[in-house]
Each structure stands twice: as structure tokens, then as C-alpha cells.
Structure 1
Amino acid sequence: MKEKSRMQNGGPVVGIPIDVAYGSLSFFTTVVHNIFLLYHVDMFVSVYKIDKASFWLGEMIFLIWNSLNDPVFGWISDKRYLSSAGNNHQSVQSIVLRRLDALLWTGPMFAVSFLAFWVQWAAPGLQFVICLCLYDGFLTMIDLHHSALLADLAISAKARTKLNSRSSFFSILGSGSVFLSYAVWNKDNLRTFRIFCLVLSLICLVGFGLMTKVLKNIFIQNSDKMVLKESSHERFEPVKSEGRKLASFVREISSQSNFLWFAAMNIIQVFHCHFNSNFFPLFLENLLGDAISPGLGSVLIGISFVAPHINNLYFLSLCRRWGVYSVIRLLFVVKLAISLVMFLAGPNHVWLLCVFIASNRVFTEGTCKLLNLVISDLVDEDFVLHHRHQPVSALMFGTAALLSKPGQTLAPLVGTWLLAKQTGHDIFESGRAAGSIKIQGGLDSAQQEEYKQGCFHLLVYIPVVCAITQLLVWTQFSLRGKRLRIVKAAREGALYSHV
């Protein structure tokens, strides 16, 4: 089926175009997820007083779960589509409706799991593991199916960037919660912050339930009434076992050099994104401290979360003109350049530090927002190379996450270890003594300056190393230019012939 019949046939239902309905789901995810990224580490370290052993053990358990759940959920979702033979034929409509059904129940459960972080109901170590695994499980389901819809609803770069730009617009709105969070975050009295989180959770729960149903109705009415009933049209491969399918898929994906180069770049990107989020409060407190007011700190945090989505609208327009490969390469160069400028300037320029801390997140997160477009292109390449009758979008996104998600867990582990090495102080010990990730007493001026210098080195060295490594890896990625155009033409022609 051609892309036009998927996205453009029929008028919008109750005035809501399908791209707007698709993008609105990003609002309900972003409105709570940014709060999680900013405060969950500080909550367990400074408020619940989790000990170092429990923190590291919890992160290692989370590393295993976080890495495995993406391909497992992707496999469960897409294993029926792996056959390249003609006896496993399904309509694109039935695939899309399955993804929407999954979003219909995982969205509300994601909202409920978010609440479990902010009230202590078990021993810190046990609660840490349970909260992380539950929250990430539902978030993974949402990310997989929402991202897979990007590849299933559209093929051309223009249509995909339109869907992605709608997601960015609604993510901008959802990031508004960050501005308020810094004002209500008080480790000595968490009542207001907990009420705030409850309100956000309710917005997410109700919003996901309503908008997923709306999106489902829009898609059904806009699909030229070509939705096929599974009972009469699904035919599964009778001979090939699931074990053989999985082994075949692993061999196929291992042979795709572009996928492997992307995975190497992506694990570094995921690490850097989560490092910035996890240690943002630490850099604010220790490098800027009393030099900025709480109001300015709130604005700075808010800008750092909102600006990537605003910039993404511009980056997407550049992608339509130059291609996503060139834009990502440019962002790596910019990240390296601003980090080197900050390193040469030193830690004593308060306003330059403010700009760097915010812009570092902007360009790093800006890259992350474009990666779904790259994975969607890899879905196209996999579809063409292995002669599939339907793209295995969720499975490809899940496999990509399997190889990149360890970066999410490594970010707080490597960050806390490097901080201790650079400063000589353990934030777990300082948290028990002072209830804060900031060293608040017991140090003379020379030690305080050493601690500040260590935080500054951590802030600057990480983006420099990440940017250099990513530039070297990204030059090996060849799914661009003429090759990408050939792949897209082949996939569009194959899908049309199947229908």
C-alpha cells in the first residue's frame, strides 16, 4: 500500500489529522518522563539514603532488564512477520491496529508506575529495583510501538519528518512540567512535589487512554476501509519454528553493517543523554551554586528540556534538505566545538557555564530526537535486503535498543565513579551527611575549589570523548544519499506490489 493511502486518504476525524494524533502521544510521555530523568537518582540518594552497594546492585539488575525487554517485547510483537515467504501475508492496517491496541493499555500503566518513585514504601534498595524495572517495562512498550508506527505509517523522508515534527511539538508542551518541577522540588518537604507528580500522572493516564482511542478511530476511517480481518487473512508459517526464526533474524541483522555501526554510535549517544539528565542538578548546585537564583535555575532546567524539541523542528527541516546523516554529523561537530570552548574558558565564567550546560543538553538531546528516523531507514533496508512481506519495525527498534540501552544504566554508574575519582568525594557519603549531592560543609576553600574543578572536568570531558568517538563511528554508516534513495524506492514498490 502506498504511503498516500496510509496518511492522506480521507479527511481528519473531528478535525484531528492523523499526524497530530500521533504526535500528541509524545506529550503524555514527556510530561512525566522528564521528571523521572531529573529527580529519581537524587530522590534515592539524598532522600531515601540508598547505600552504594544497593544502588550499584539495583543498576546492574536494571541493566539486564533494560537491555533484554526491548528485543523481547519487539519479538513478541513482530515474530509473526519475519517470514519472507508468501504464506505470512498481513495488511499494514492490521499491524498498525495491533500497535495501537498495545498503546491503549500500556500508556495508563506507565502513568501508574511513575507514581511509585516518589513515596517510600519499601527498603530503598528493593524499591529502587522494582520501580526502575516496572517503569522501564511500560516505557519500553510505549517507545517500541510509537516508534514502530513511524516506520509503518510512512515511508518517505518528508512524511516521516512530518510525523516526527508533530511529536517534537507536543514534546515541547510536555516539557513545560520541568519549569514547574524545580520550583516545587524541596528535599526537606516533598508534599508539594508529590502532589505535582500525582497531577502529572493523572494527565498521562487519561490522555493516553483517550488519544489512543481517537487515533485508532482516525486510522480506521482514513484507511480507505481496507482493514482486513485477521481471522480470514492471517496465515502463519506452518514449518519454521520460532527458534529457527529467531536464529535466522539474528544472522540477518548481524550481516547488516549499517545497523551495527548505528548501534555503536547509539550506545554512546544514549549514555551521554542520560548522563546529562542524571547529573544536571549536580552541575547546577556545585558549579553555579549561589551565583544564580532558584528562579533562574528553574528556567535553565526548563530551557534545557524544552529547547531540544524546539530545535528539533529546525533540525527536521534540515533533514529534509540535507538528509538525516549530514545533520547528525553536524550536531556531533557542534557538540565537540562548544565543549572545547568551555574547556579553554574554565569553570569561573558563570554565564558561559549556564549557556554551556543548557546547550550541551540541547545538541545532545537534539541528536537523540533524530535517531528514530535513522532506525526507520534501517527498517526499510532490512525489509529490502531480506525480501520481507511486512517490515518488522518493533523488532528492529527493540534490537537497536538492546545494543544501546546499556548506556542508560552505565551513565549513573560511570558518572558517580568518575565524580569520586575527580573530586575525592563520594556522593553517597555526602548524601548521608548532608542530605544533598552538594558538599555543604567540612571542606576548606582549597578542597571546595578542588571539588568544583572535578565537577567541571566531568562536565567537559564526557562530551569531548563522546563526540570524537561518535564522529569516527558515524563516518562508516553508508545508508545515505543514493543508497538510501534506492532502498526507499525498492520498499515502496514492494509494498505496493504486495497489496
Structure 2
Amino acid sequence: MGVRPVNCLNIPTAVLYGSLSLFVSILHNVFLLYYVDTFVSVYKIDKLSFWIGETIFLLWNSLNDPLFGWLSDRSFLSTQQSGAAISSPEVVLKRLKALMRNGPLFALSFLSFWVAWARPGVQFLVCLCLYDGFLTIVDLNHNALLADLAVSEKDRTRLNFYCSLFSALGSLSVFMSYAVWNKDNFFSFRLFCAAMAAFSIFGFSICTWILRQRFQLEVKVKHMEASMLKELHISQTPLAQEQTLTFLEYLKQLSRQQNFVWFVSMNLVQVFHCHFNSNFFPLFLEYLLSDRISLSTGSFLLGASYIAPHLNNLYFLSLCHRFGVYMVIRWLFFLKLVLSLIMLLAGPDQIYLLCFFIASNRVFTEGTCKLLNLVISDLVDEDFVMNKRKQAASALLFGMVALVTKPGQTFAPLFGTWLLYVYTGYDIFQHDALHDIVSTKPVGEPNTAWMKAVRQGCFYLLVFIPITCGVLQLLAWSQFNLHGKRLQTIKSLRQSTHQEGLLDIKAV
């Protein structure tokens, strides 16, 4: 297992790793809630500039994941495995260095949204691209560490557990932001954002510094051993001539990895469903429940939907440790399908069941998303073994998954609004609210019939999307065979290759 690193401040490595999720989530949740409203309502951006910015951002958002992943991991790709060329602690140090440098820059890019410093259209585009660029670098390196710090399913589950715990704590920034959000007086909100950014910068700097101290000792010991071998004229077998892969050759290798193909097919549907729930959650609350539940109940459902997925994931991770990630994800797909069928049979008039379904649909769907990093880490192991890498290209593989699945973010609102129009005749882009449509109708019975049609259409949208997604995902997931004996074989092969460089997470 190598030399056990110095235990700075007696904080476990898993806790330090998970805490990095806190410093991202406290900022990203606020960003998601307020950046559009800020530019539309406060900075008064025009519609053309807004859509141009979103279009360019869509392209940048899809391409920067594989770009940064390739820049990070291209040195690990070769046609020959060279084992001792790069040790696991050195790979971890490279990830931590990137996090230590880009984490604070990510926080500073977050601050650039809340002070007007250029024309709204220009600021919107520059801020979005800068923010997403630094967020991508941070996410890629943080996710890659999940595959680099540990190989065993138990240790990776432990790492993911702390990520979920700290992400749940980070979601509290959403509730705190409500107290200071005021479009007419932006000063308090700016102070709040500055405080959150300062906390994030401090946290990134301290946690990555502590982690780097630990792994630098590992690297130092390995360099000393190499120097002693050199002095004693003990040489290893000469390494075979390596040939660095091009990006196209890497893509060909990846396309032959059938588990990767089936996983991204399933994950594309998952990303679509997650963003569909986020985009249309307020719509379902307003048109299906607003006249039947109190405002406080609606606010509770909305707020709980941000925190509950992280807390619920703590239980899912315990199930993963017991039954395996593959089986837990499969059960969640079945649960999604069964709950949707029950809701369809019950109809839109069962209010309590409808409240539970709207909330649970988002919670379970988001919970599934939180588990998928464990599966991607297993795909990293499979790629490492199948293609005889000298080091696992963790960040690059996470980036390739994002490249294929991120279009689901765009498909969700487009397909959802089209279906809404098909079912109800309600075009969300041409009307500010449903009452604008109703006001054009004659009073009396036609109004009631129109409202009932819109409500029924929203209900069908609510239940048929998860039914369709559940069926498609179960079909794709049934073809995924990186579990059971095959997964254990892959993990054994990777562990035997780099046994001396891996760290026991619990021991740190």
C-alpha cells in the first residue's frame, strides 16, 4: 500500500475530498437560481443578446469537457503500459494542483455576475463562458480524483458519501439567499455573494493544501527509492517504445468499449430527465397544485427538492455498499417506472399522492445522477485495463461522458415545451402566464373547460416523461455488463498493476 502519509490535522482524506463539493455547491446553486433573473430583470438584457449568449454557451458547455479532459490526461495515453513512469500519488498531486489553482478562480468568476461592468449582452456571454470553463476544470479534476484515490467499491462509496453530505450542506445557501435577494436593492445580495465566494476560496485553498502535503510525502519517498536504485546500478527492464495516441485513436478505442456506449445512452436520458424536472418543477406546482395547496407547502416542496436528493443519496450509497451500484440504479429505474404508472392510474385529483410524486420524481432522479460518478469510475478502470494505459485517463473519460450527455440539457426544455403545446395549446414563449390565455376566453363554462384541458395536459407531461425515460433506461442498462464478476476482475487487474501506488482512504 506504500508509505502512509502524514495525517495533517487528523482530518480523513475522504472528508477533505468531500468538502470540496461544499465549496462548489454553495456557489453553483445560487448561480442556477439567480443568473437569468439578474440579467433579465436587473441588467435588462435584450432577448436577442440573451439567446445569442445561450447558443454560444451551449457549444462551449458541450466542448470544454473533452477539451480540458484531453489537455489534462493526454500524457497518460499510450499504446504500451509503462507502469513506473508515473505513480498514482503524482497523478493525484496533478489533480490537486489544478484544483488549488482553479478553485479560487472559479469563485472569482462567480462574482463577475453580480456587478455590472460591461454591456449586458457582452457581460452575459463572457461571464457564462468564464464561469463554466472554471467549473468544468474543477468538476473534471474533482471527479477524476474519485477514480484516482481509490479502486475498491467500498472506498469509492465512502468518498461519494462525503460528497453528498457536503453537497447537502452547500444547498443551504439557496435558503440563505432568499433573505437577501431583492431586485430593487442589489447591495445586500452582492455582499452575500462576496461572502460565499470568499468562503469558497478559503476552503479550496486550505483543503487542497492539506491534501497536497500528504501526497507530496508519497512522491518524495518514491523519488528517494528511485535514486537509491540508480546509485546501486539496479535497473529495471527497458521499457518498450511508447506511441502516444491521437484524439481520434482514443475515440476509436472508446467506441469499442461497449459498456461506455450503453452507459452514455442511458445517461443521456438521465440528464434529459433531470433537467426536465428542474425546468418544469415550478410549472407543475403552479398549474397542478397552486389552487389546492398553500404557498408555504409549495415553497417547502421546492426547497426540499434541492436538499433531499443529497440526503437521500446517503442512504442510496449504503445500499450500493451492500448490493452494488448496478443493482441500486436498476431498482431506482424500476421505482421511477412503477410510481409513474401508479400516478397515471390514480389521476390528477389525488392531491397528496400528486405532491409526493412531483417531489419524489425529482428526488429519486437527482439521486440516480449522484450515483453515476461511481459507474464512470468503474468505466475508467475498464478503459485502463482493456487498453493497457500507463495511467488511468480519469478526467478525459469524465469529459467524454459529458460531451455525449450534455445535449440532454438542451433537449429537455425544447422537447418539454413542444409537448406542452401539443397537449394543451399553451405556448410558454408567447405568454407570461396561464391567466393571459384564460383572460382571452369567454367567462363561464368555456374557461373551466380550458383550465381543465391545460391541467390534464400538464399531468400527462408529468407522468409520461418518466415512464418513457424509465423504459428506455432499463433497456440500455440491461446491456451494461460492468458489474458482478466482470467488475471484480477489472478491479483486481487494476489494483494488481498499481498496488504500490494506491492509498487506503480509511488510513489517511
TM-score range, shorter chain: 0.7 to 0.9
Q: Percent identity?
A: 56
Distance 2:122 2:414 in 1: 18
Partner of 1:339: 340
**1:203 alignment counterpart:** 199
- 86-95 or 44-53: bigger deviation: 44-53
1:118 to partner: Cα distance: 4.7
Label 1:276 to 1:49 Cα distance change in 2 as closer, same or farther (>3 A).
Answer: farther
- What residue identity is the alignment partner of 1:458? L
**Corresponding residue for 1:453?**
456
Q: CA deviation at 1:191?
A: 5.5
Q: Which residue of 2 aligns with 1:74?
A: 69
Q: Residue type matched to 2:336 in 1?
A: K
Secondary structure of 1:155's aligned partner: coil
Q: Which has the larger radius of gyration?
A: 2
* 2:303 equivalent in structure 1: 302
Matching residue of 1:178: 174
Q: How many residues align?
A: 485
- For 2:415 and 2:426, the matched residues in 1 are separated by 15
- Equivalence map 1:276-291=2 (5 Å): 276-289=277-290, 291=292
In the TM superposition, residue 119 of structure 1 has moved relative to its aligned partner by 5.5
- Cα RMSD (Å) of the superposition? 3.2
2:206 alignment partner, SS class: helix
Whole-angstrom CA distance in 2 between matches of 1:130 and 1:104 = 23
* Cα offset, 1:11, TM superposition: 5.7
Distance 1:271 1:132, change over 3 A: farther
Query: Counterparts of 2:438 and 2:37 in 1: how far apart (Å)?
Result: 19
Which residue, 95, 119, 133 being the options, matches 1:137? Answer: 133
1:92 aligns with 88
Aligned residue identity for 1:73? F
TM-score by length of 2: 0.85
Classify 1:388/1:87 alpha carbon distance in 2 versus 1 (closer, same or farther; 3 Å).
Answer: closer
* 1:26 to 2:29 alignment: no
More displaced stretch, 47-56 vs 166-175? 47-56
Is residue 2:467 matched to residue 1:472?
A: no
Please give the secondary structure, in 1, of the residue aligned with 2:431: helix
When structure 1 is superposed on structure 2, of 145-154 and 112-121 the one drifting more is 112-121
Q: TM-score, structure 1 length as denominator?
A: 0.87
Q: Alignment partner for residue 166 of structure 1, among 162, 182, 185?
A: 162
Matching of residues 100-499 of structure 1 within 5 Å:
100-118=96-114, 126-182=122-178, 185=181, 192-221=188-217, 223=218, 225-226=220-221, 228=223, 240=243, 244-289=245-290, 291-431=292-432, 442=439, 444=441, 445-446=447-448, 447-496=450-499
Deviations 1:320-363 (A, max 9, x none): 11111111010111111222222233334443332222211111
Q: 1:53 to 1:450 in 2, by over 3 A?
A: farther
1:187-212 CA distance string (max 9 Å, x none): 66665555444433332233222222
Alpha-carbon displacement from aligned partner over 1:229-249 (angstroms, at most 9, x marks no partner): 9x999x9998746xx432321
Alpha carbons of structure 1 residues 71 and 394: separation in structure 2 relative to 1, 3 Å: same
Kindly provide the amino acid, as one letter, of the partner of residue 386 in structure 1.
N
Asked whether the equivalents of residues 93 and 226 of structure 1 are also in contact (C-alpha less than 8 Å), the reply is: no
Gaps in structure 2 of 5+ consecutive residues: 231-237, 442-446, 503-508
Give the equivalent residue in structure 1 for 2:444: none
Q: Separation in 1 of the partners of 2:162 and 2:465?
A: 31
Question: Could you give the per-residue CA deviations for residues 250-270 of structure 1, whole angstroms, max 9, x where no partner exists?
Answer: 111111000000010111111
Q: Assess, with a 3 A threshold, how the Cα gap between structure 1 residues 186 and 423 changes in structure 2: closer, same or farther.
A: farther
Residues 282, 438 of structure 1: 8 Å contact kept: no
Q: 1:97 to 1:497 in 2, by over 3 A?
A: closer
Three-state SS of the structure 2 residue aligned to 1:280 is helix
Unaligned stretches of 5+ residues in structure 1: none
State how 1:52-63 maps to structure 2 within 5 Å.
Answer: 56-63=51-58
**Distance in 2 of aligned mates of 1:281 and 1:124:** 27
CA gap 1:453/1:40 in 2 versus in 1, 3 angstroms: farther
Tell me if the contact between 2:143 and 2:398 (Cα under 8 Å) persists in the aligned partners.
Answer: yes
User: Once the two structures are superposed, what CA deviation does each residue of 1:31-57 show, in whole Å capped at 9, x if it has no partner?
Assistant: 122233344455556766767665554
Q: Which amino acid aligns with 1:63?
A: L
Q: Compared with structure 1, are the counterparts of its residues 479 and 410 closer, same or farther at alpha carbon in structure 2 (3 Å cutoff)?
A: same
SS at 2:9 equivalent: coil
